[in-house]
Structure 1
Amino acid sequence: MWTCQQNLGALAGELMMSLKEESGKTYTQIGNELGLSNVYTAQLLMHQQQLKPQTAPALKKALPGISDTDLLALQKAPSRRWDPQQIQDPVIYRLHEATMLAGEAIKGVINEEFDDGIMSAINLHTHVDKVTGKEGEERVVITMSGKFLPYNEQRIEDDVTRL
């Protein structure tokens, strides 16, 4: 049996996906057991997020097949990167398309409501839900909650590197 420790990255994700599949649980079910959102749980199992030591026992309970070595490996900082091949997946392409179509308007609303700044992707809370539309169709709801980071005036007296 190979372990995440020996094969971090894609292979770690493959192992976690295998364990998830064996469990028969959804990301939402596992996330509920861990006290985490479904998106964060998926990122965790794909080793795009770091497993925190306090969450490791709950993950071991949720996915009993996971080894202690793998739990330790998932507690290492992941390599967060974007694979340009991912854009070929229709779901990921459509998310990019939605951002391209609505991005400027979202930026305008953020600037109007908060002032000049950005929504941070660090500590971004994301959750996916399914709702029924008024015509009975299934609809995807993606909620993202990010910290607002204002742009600051670059004042010399505030620059600690110049002290």
Structure 2
Amino acid sequence: MATTPKILSTLPNVFTSLHEAKIKSKLTFAQLGEAIGRNEWYTTAIFYGQARPDKSDVEKLSAALGLQQGFLEEAFGEDFFPLRGLGEFPPQDPVLYRLYEVIVVYGYPLKHMINEKFGDGIMSAIDFEGDVEKVKGSQGEDRVKITLNGKFLPYRRW
């Protein structure tokens, strides 16, 4: 039986309503993304208040999930601004902790490779796209493939 994530207890009620409607609809985030014309990752971020849906997104989410459009319009009106940092740091959830661990263990090599290939700068989290895929490994095991695709932002000299 699907349940809503615990982090939702710290967020406005609209996010619990979105998750409950998603569970009831039996739609995946990929299907909802297709329904609203957005990437699966971005669509999922809307459900956690970490991305701002536009008017068209709200209309399409309302239709896909059977939620009252006025309720969503009010929740995501002009006063709504995404909260892009959620939860404890470092994270306690095993999935999140392991992603954090990847950065702790491999962050400096990754930074060095980015600097070597691009120069002195960073990857944007603002001009960013991401994907998650289920792929098979060389032994036939299930593997998680995460693609982070952000614009390179060189540090400016002044």
TM above 0.5, one fold? yes
Contact 2:32 2:64 in 1 (8 A): yes
Moved over 6 A (4+): none
SS state of the match for residue 81, structure 2?
Answer: coil
Q: How many residues align?
A: 148
C-alpha distance in 1 between matches for 2:62 and 2:25: 12
Deviates more, 1:122-131 or 1:52-61: 52-61
Structure 2 residue aligned with 1:111: 115
Residue-by-residue CA offset, 1:58-99 (whole Å, 9 max, x unaligned)? 222221224322234124222333321671100000000011
User: What is the letter of the counterpart of residue 94 of structure 1?
Assistant: R
Structure 2 residue aligned with 1:90: 94
Q: Tell me which of 46, 56, 59 is aligned to 2:58.
A: 56
Q: 1:72 to 1:127 in 2, by over 3 A?
A: farther
Deviates more, 1:142-151 or 1:34-43: 34-43
Q: Tell me which of 120, 145, 158 is aligned to 1:141.
A: 145
C-alpha distance in 2 between matches for 1:17 and 1:86: 25
Higher relative contact order (CA 8 A, sep 6+): 1
User: What is the letter of the counterpart of residue 105 of structure 1?
Assistant: P
User: What is the letter of the counterpart of residue 135 of structure 2?
Assistant: V
Identity, in percent, stands at: 35
User: What is the letter of the counterpart of residue 25 of structure 1?
Assistant: L
User: What is the letter of the counterpart of residue 127 of structure 2?
Assistant: N
Structure 2 residue aligned with 1:74: 76
Residue-by-residue CA offset, 1:20-47 (whole Å, 9 max, x unaligned)? 1011011111111122222211110122
Shift of 1:17: 0.5
Contact 1:125 1:145 in 2 (8 A): yes
C-alpha distance in 1 between matches for 2:27 and 2:149: 25
SS state of the match for residue 133, structure 2?
Answer: strand
Shift of 1:123: 2.8
C-alpha distance in 2 between matches for 1:151 and 1:95: 26
Structure 1 residue aligned with 2:18: 16
C-alpha distance in 2 between matches for 1:129 and 1:141: 5
Structure 2 residue aligned with 1:100: 104
Structure 2 residue aligned with 1:34: 36
Unaligned runs of 5+ in 1: 1-7, 155-163
- Bigger radius of gyration: 1
C-alpha distance in 2 between matches for 1:25 and 1:72: 24
The structure richer in strand per residue is: 2
C-alpha distance in 1 between matches for 2:154 and 2:86: 26
Task: Calculate the TM-score normalised by the size of structure 1.
Answer: 0.82
